[in-house]
Each structure stands twice: as structure tokens, then as C-alpha cells.
Structure 1
Amino acid sequence: MAPPGETERRREQQAFADRVAGLQDFDGAFELVKSAVFKKFKMHRAGLSLILQVMPSNLGAYHILGSNVIVMNSYVLAAIKRISGSDSEYNAYLFMVLAHEYLHSLGIVDENTVRQMTYDLCKALLGEGHSSTLMTKEDPSSLFPQLRYMAQNQFSSDFHVVKNFDKAGQSYIQ
């Protein structure tokens, strides 16, 4: 028999995992990230932009310190879309990376601190066995070993600004 509260915690984790699995776009993923970070750490900021750019394959994304920009590796994102077994695995990656970079955007610069916070967030809200948690505990190649053999080593000068990202943080009419 489960300890008191354990059944309810698992039910909440499953409901949150269903929300991650059902993500439809970058903005929906980011809104879920912001609500998760606020729920777990009581931290929030708005007004971020997302840029997609081909980068070396060992880099998933980065936040430009002091800016309102998250840059995500479109090469790795496309590879995970192609090799993942389902939309839910792709969404798990998207959620995990956006959560990690969102924490950086909140002023937390230490990489180890952000990694631990991202792991704590995923474990608490999604459970130990969820794909986001597993990727955060180790790295995305633990779930997608094919990533280890991808040899992209350069930054592209081309980039794409994602439209309608962080819409809730925009207080003006576009």
C-alpha cells in the first residue's frame, strides 16, 4: 500500500506528464515551463524571445546573459524530432531544455546549480522515470544515443526567431 499522499502525488505527476506530452508549440511549452518553475521555485519573469540556430551538436541551447533571448539548437531539435519514438519524447526534450534555459534567464548563472534545479523540477513534477527527468539526470544522449554520433561542429550564421513565443509576457499589440 502506498504511503499517505503518494497516490495523489503520482496522479499529479501523471497529469503534468500528460500536459508535457500534449504540447503543440514552443509557446505552449514555455508557458508550461514558466508555471512549473513558479510552482516549484516561486520564480518568474516574462518577455523572453526564442531563436532557433544550428549550433555544435554538443550544445542544446543557451541563454545570452543579461538578455531576453534563449537560443536553441535547431540541428539537435530536428534530430530528436526525427529519432524520438514519439511526440511525447520530443516534447520531454523541449520542456527540459526550455526549463534549463529559463532558470538561467532568472539570473542563475552557475551551470551545476541550474542542472540540479532542472532535475529537481522534473523529478518533482514528472517523476523519476519521465524522459525529461532522465535526460536532466544525465544528458539527452542517455535517451537518444544516436546523438553521440552526430558531428555538427559549427555555428550557422542563419537563425530563425520564433513568432508568438512568450505571448503571455507581451503587453503590447503585435
Structure 2
Amino acid sequence: MKAKESLTEKDFSKIESYRLRIDEAEGFRGVWEIVKDTVKVSLGEHRLGMLLFLDDLPLHLGAYHQLGTNNIVLNRSLVNIVEAVTKSKKLVNAFVYSILTHEYLHALGHVSEAEVRSLVYDVSRECFGEDHILTMLAEKTPWMLIKGIPLNDITVPKQAMELIKDLEKPNQRYIV
């Protein structure tokens, strides 16, 4: 019985830690670190050298990863709309986490949309708990945060694609 209680305490501690991290994450790099950590802990998978770009995509598209590349392109306009509507860093971080986790799983070789959606839910539930907003977004859709916003009526001016610099900083120094 003791081992089961310890596991429960350990899981609770992990969940609380991830909840605190996502609530306090600063910017795309902060959220990205949590995406990588939770996928590695939950699925045992990881990949280095990813690049994140922001671009103004059609508003029905959250992001995309082109197979065979290290690139994830996140819809800057959609993130801006979520920021304006929710006025909550916690909800914006949850939205960005959901979208980036989905695309990261594609980058790890999971091609099927149904499989990826299921995996995002599994990772979110394991790392953030059943009752967290991230798990709810994974179960339903990240677009639930902007439900009722007439996205088809919004015209977004196109800006240049932007690279998020230093998304992944190396953990070790190179000896030259």
C-alpha cells in the first residue's frame, strides 16, 4: 500500500509542478520547454533542433509542421486573437502549449491526426491532471477559448514570417 501512496504523491507533485510552470511560462520559449519536457516524460520521445516561426496563417489553422523539416509555423494572428479575447497569460500559454504539442508530435513522426489528438490528450492528462484547462483543450479543441468570435469576418494584415530566436539553447558548451 505504501508504494501506491508514494506513486500518488509523486504524480500529484509532478502535476502541481507542471501546472505552476505553464502558468508562469514566459513567451514561446518558456512554453516550448514545457512541451518538450511533458512529451518526454509522458511518451519517452524527444527531438532536438526544432525551429519555431510565427506567421499570419488562415485563422482556421493553428500551426503546421512540414514533414521532413525541423520547422513548426505557429499562427501569430490566432495567438494575438486569443490574447485579446482572454486577456489571460495562463489561457494564452495553454492555447500555445496545445498547438505546439500537436505539431511537435507530428515532428516526432506521428502523422495521423487522430493519433496526435489522442496523444495530446494523454500527455496533458498525465502531466496536468484531468481537471486542468490544458486537458480540456486537448479533449475538445483549443478553439473553445475563442468560441463565438466570428473568425471568418476578421481580416489580418500579412506581416513577414518571424523566427523565434534561441528556442532551444544547448545545455552543454562546446569545447573549441
Answer yes or no: is the 8 Å Cα contact 1:55–1:153 preserved in 2.
Answer: no
Supply the AA of the counterpart residue of 1:106: L
Question: 2-side partners of 1:157 and 1:87: how far apart?
Answer: 23
Partner Cα distance (2:110, 2:140) in 1 = 20
Q: Is the 8 A contact 2:53 2:73 kept in 1?
A: yes
Aligned letter for 2:79?
L
- The residue type equivalent to 1:115 in the other structure is R
**TM-score of the pair, normalised by structure 2:** 0.86
Q: TM-score, normalised by structure 1?
A: 0.87
> Contact 1:47/1:170 (CA < 8 Å) preserved in 2?
no
Q: Decide whether the 8 Å contact of 1:50 with 1:69 is kept in 2.
A: yes
Instruction: Note if contact 2:82-2:145 (Cα within 8 Å) is conserved in structure 1.
Output: no
Give 1:136 shift.
Answer: 1.1
Q: Is the 8 A contact 2:99 2:142 kept in 1?
A: no
Note the residue ranges of structure 2 that are not aligned, 5 or more in a row: none
Q: Within 5 A, what are the aligned runs for 1:128-143? A: 128-143=130-145
Q: 1:170 to 1:31 in 2, by over 3 A?
A: farther
Where structure 1 has 5 or more consecutive residues not aligned to the other structure, the ranges are none
Indicate conservation of the 8 Å contact 2:18/2:34, yes or no: no
Please, what is the CA RMSD of the aligned residues? 2.4
CA drift of 1:11 comes to 3.5
Partner of 2:81: 79
Correspondence list, 1:20-99, <5 A:
20-99=22-101
> Is the Cα–Cα contact under 8 Å of residues 21 and 87 in structure 1 kept in the other structure?
yes
Alpha carbons of structure 1 residues 121 and 37: separation in structure 2 relative to 1, 3 Å: same
Q: After superposition, what is the alpha-carbon deviation per residue over 1:89-138, rounded to whole angstroms, capped at 9, x for unaligned?
A: 11111111111111110111111101100000001110122111111111
Cα distance change on mapping 1:94 and 1:170 into 2, 3 Å: farther
Q: Distance in 2 between matches of 1:21 and 1:40?
A: 19
What is the alpha-carbon distance in structure 1 between the residues aligned to residue 143 and residue 84 of structure 2?
Answer: 14
- CA-CA distance at 1:47 after TM superposition: 0.5
How far apart are residue 156 of structure 1 and its match? 4.2
Aligned residue for 1:168, secondary structure, equals coil
Q: Name 1:108's counterpart in structure 2.
A: 110
Q: Matches of 1:59 and 1:15 in 2, distance apart?
A: 30
The code of the aligned residue for 1:109 comes to: V
3-state SS of paired residue (2:19): helix
Residues 42 and 54 of structure 1: is their aligned pair in 2 closer, same or farther, counting only changes over 3 Å? same
Alpha-carbon distance between aligned partners in 1 of 2:36 and 2:25, rounded to the nearest angstrom: 14
Measured in 1, the distance between the counterparts of 2:158 and 2:85 equals 22
Equivalent pairs counted in the alignment come to 169
For residue 166 of structure 1, give the secondary structure of its aligned residue in structure 2.
Answer: coil
Paired residue for 1:150?
A: 151
Which stretch shows the higher mean deviation, 112-121 or 28-37? 28-37
Change (3 A) 1:170 1:73: farther
